[in-house]
A and B are shown apart, each in its own frame.
Chain A
Amino acid sequence: MSTTPVMPKRLTDVGPPHYEKYLHPMCKANYGKWKYHESVAPGVLCHVAESGDKLYTVRVGTPRLLSIQTIRQFASLADKYTGGYLRFTSRNNLEFLLTDPANIAPLTAEVNQLGFPVGGTKNSISNIVHTQGWIHCHSAATDASGIVKAVMDPLYERFTHQDLPGKLRIALACCENMCGAVHCSDIAILGIHRTPPHIQKDTLAKQCEIPTLIASCPTGAIRAVPGGNKEVEVIDEQCMYCGNCYTVCPAMTMNDPENDGLSIWVGGKVSNARTSPAFSKLAIPFLPNNPPRWPEVVEAVIKIVDVYAANARKYERVGEWIERVGWPRFFQLTGFEFTRHHIDDFKHAGLTFARSTHIRY
């Protein structure tokens, strides 16, 4: 490490670098003039321009959390094989952009040598988008990176192969704040609390603005103690453990190792292909928080993937498959228990009640 070089003038509000600075020359030359693309192999795409130019993409799975040492290794590989051009995807994959197909095999070999897989294209399980977890977040009900690693290890070949019926997208958020917005994923893993906040009476008055705290509760479960001196109480049965109060007031702590855990959601999507974008629905309301390898969560995700792979038709996403066979069949095939927690009792709950006699026997 060294000291900061002397800066001539303070700069602010410059905004991000202009993307043209970093665009591959072939992307620049064929900007807006691409014709079609095809899959060359799992993790390898070929985009063909109207000009006849061909650009090859080699997609690499990463853990999202990268050291500068690893990024520099990727940069060196880019120098060696792609003229220095690379990009990242919206799912934390890295993409090398190549013009010479002869470089695909040696690049892939070097990437694998470094410990990174090539894949994530077409009907594969692409990388899991996820949140910070215990690495760096104050409100995490569970870790994020650790569960992702534990789940992706046994699903490694689903990343490097593209033989599922359709695309399968997994996401993980470590609390209901959902900075990783997992609510529209084929499979979502969501950290949850199951107990009301613990009020830290000694710090509440110092740290929090009481009216803001009371207003933060979506169900009106927080109220001032009458005649109290900046004190609040929580109506336990009205609390849904969302943690919004904690976000506005640090004295409303949510951590509860014995009761925090994971829930599993299925059948969401964001693409408009065939069916409309959809929310993920509850599959399992609670699994224990069990580091370092979260066996219960891993088992549940693999179960869903396997049952989907064995039963869905070509192109069907998880939600489309369940829509066709019905939720009773989903619970039957996965062996997951259907409980009272699966029936919505929040806003607009009635919309999810079965309002017909269309029942599969």
Chain B
Amino acid sequence: MAESNNGNGKHETKLLNELEKGPWPSFVKEIKSASTGNDACDDLLGQLELSYEERKGHWKHGGIVGVLGYGGGVIGRYSDVPEQFPKIAHFHTMRVNHPAGWFYTSDALRTVCDIWERHGSGLTNMHGSTGDMILLGTTTEHLEPTFQELTHAGFDLGGSGSAVRTPSCCVGMARCEWACFDAMKICYDLTEHYQDELHRPAFPYKFKFKFSACPNDCVASIARADMSVIGTWKDDIQVDEAEVANYAAVGFDIQKDVCEHCPTKAISWDGKKLDIINAECVHCMHCINVMPKALRPGKERGAVILIGAKAPIMQGALLSSVLVPFVPADELFETIKELVGRIWDFWDEYGTNRERVGEMIQRVGLPAFLDGIGLDPAPEMVSAPRDNPFIFFQTTKAGEK
């Protein structure tokens, strides 16, 4: 990065200045604050102002840049008006794999800030959509030095392209009473286990893991991960009767606020005792969410493994759907590894270019996918059995004659 410091106001930013007004914290102020030590930020403001004037972006399409031996983790970015804004002619992003649960110490944050002050714009995203810490804006020659400083400080790059993307998880057992499995541990262990697949893209398209330790799904796993792992329990909801009585005593309307919201009407209240038909409970979390002192998930804990969520590109958005209805918490790591191995083999074989696992399943059919990965069909996998009579009876299971 250039050493000069021209301070603020190099480019006029009449439109952007409007976004310094108002109570919500301003990203324009953040860029201006970084520009006191770095004049790439001045050019960034100038180019952004131009985008605001013309109502269009001014970044060129990608570009292959990176660090030695990795196929991802750096997003190449070039200005399409470099004559006007030479300091951001190259303005590459580095994705840095965040610690599970996004926990930091002040020293850890300062370490990254110092590295980024030496090598980049001083701008970050805390955090990017997938979960990475995003270091916004540097030049090609600074990529490798930044990377080496990061790895020596204990950080590594995240995923990009057709690879395992940086796995993420909720706060889990570190600060939540509802955690049904150790999301941070599994997230960390799998990230380490799949380092090669994360740094060296070799798939038809991206593959995301997200781990939510209860059905509240704080990391939007069911909407955003190719493999969604969502905590749940199998046995009875734990009830603290004395605390139930306390809720009632302070005027909490258990009938209205709890029973009437139960999706399967599995919970009832006679004014004295809470009765739960656990076999009919779908583990939605509502009653536990609203009476956290009185109700807790059961003791036989684990997770549901779901498959296939994605955003709309290309064939429309998908939510993940159930693949394994329940895996005990202590078997989860091994089960996921085994399952993922089979899924990737099938996807490598049958997936087309830029086809996410979910879209491949839509194309080949869930029954064929289950055959391919060697899983037996289960009624938990569907909201209902098929309602059309056109059954492909001639289809043989993979491997059968």
Residues of A within 8 A of B (CB): 1-5, 7, 10-19, 21-24, 27, 31-32, 34-38, 47, 55, 57, 61-72, 74-76, 78-79, 84-90, 92, 94, 97, 115-117, 129, 131-140, 142-143, 145-146, 148-150, 152-153, 155-156, 159, 173, 176-181, 183-184, 212, 215-216, 218, 242-244, 246-248, 250, 255-257, 260, 268, 270-275, 277, 279, 289, 291-293, 314-315, 346-348
Q: Does B286 contact A65, Cβ atoms closer than 8 Å?
A: no
6 contacting pairs across A/B (C-beta < 8 A):
A13-B196, A34-B179, A90-B168, A117-B23, A134-B59, A136-B137
Which residues on B sit within 8 Å (CB–CB) of A15?
A: 97, 156, 188, 191-192, 195
Which B residues are within 8 Å of any A CB, using their own CB?
1, 3, 15-16, 18-19, 21-31, 33-34, 36-38, 44, 48, 51-52, 54-62, 68-70, 77, 91, 93, 97-110, 113, 116-119, 122-127, 129-131, 136-137, 145, 148-149, 151-152, 154-156, 166, 168, 170-171, 173-177, 179, 182, 184, 188, 191-192, 195-196, 199, 215-224, 230, 257, 261, 263, 282-286, 289-290, 292-293, 296, 310-317, 319, 352-354
Once bound together, how far apart are the Cα atoms of A215 and B314, in whole Å?
A: 11
Known: A146-B52, A178-B313, A274-B286. A19 touches B113 (CB 8 A): no
Output the nearest chain B residue to A130 by Cβ-Cβ distance: B129
Is the Cβ of A244 less than 8 Å from the Cβ of B313?
yes
Chain A hits for B170, CB < 8 A? 90
| Inter-chain CB contacts under 8 Å: number | 385
Question: Which A residue's beta carbon lies closest to that of B213?
Answer: A32
Residues in chain A near residue B261, CB distance under 8 A: 274, 315
A117 touches B118 (CB 8 A): no
Q: In whole angstroms, how far apart are the Cα atoms of A233 and B353 in the complex?
A: 21
Cα distance A132–B224 in the bound complex, in angstroms: 17
Q: Interface majority SS on A: helix, strand, loop or mixed?
A: loop
**A residues near B289, Cβ cutoff 8 Å:** 273
- B257 near A314 (CB under 8 angstroms)? yes
Q: How many Å lie between the Cα of A249 and that of B62 in the bound state?
A: 10
Whether B216 contacts A152 by the Cβ 8 Å rule is no
Residue of B nearest to A249 (CB): B61
Query: Given A14-B156, A35-B177, A257-B55, 18 other A-B contacts at CB below 8 A?
Result: A4-B145, A16-B100, A18-B188, A64-B127, A66-B30, A75-B106, A86-B104, A97-B175, A117-B24, A139-B61, A156-B24, A176-B312, A181-B311, A181-B317, A257-B56, A271-B217, A272-B282, A314-B257
> Are B16 and A292 neighbours in the complex by a CB distance under 8 Å?
yes
Chain A contacts for B106, CB-based, 8 A: 74-76, 78-79, 84-86
Supposing A17-B108, A92-B127 touch, asked if A11 and B151 sit within 8 A by C-beta, the answer is yes
Q: Please determine whether A65 and B31 come into contact, CB atoms closer than 8 angstroms.
A: yes
A66-B351 Cα distance, complex, nearest whole Å = 38
Given contacts A38-B292, A88-B126, whether A4 and B148 have CB atoms under 8 Å apart is yes
Decide: A270 near B223, CB < 8 A? Known: A2-B118, A177-B311: yes
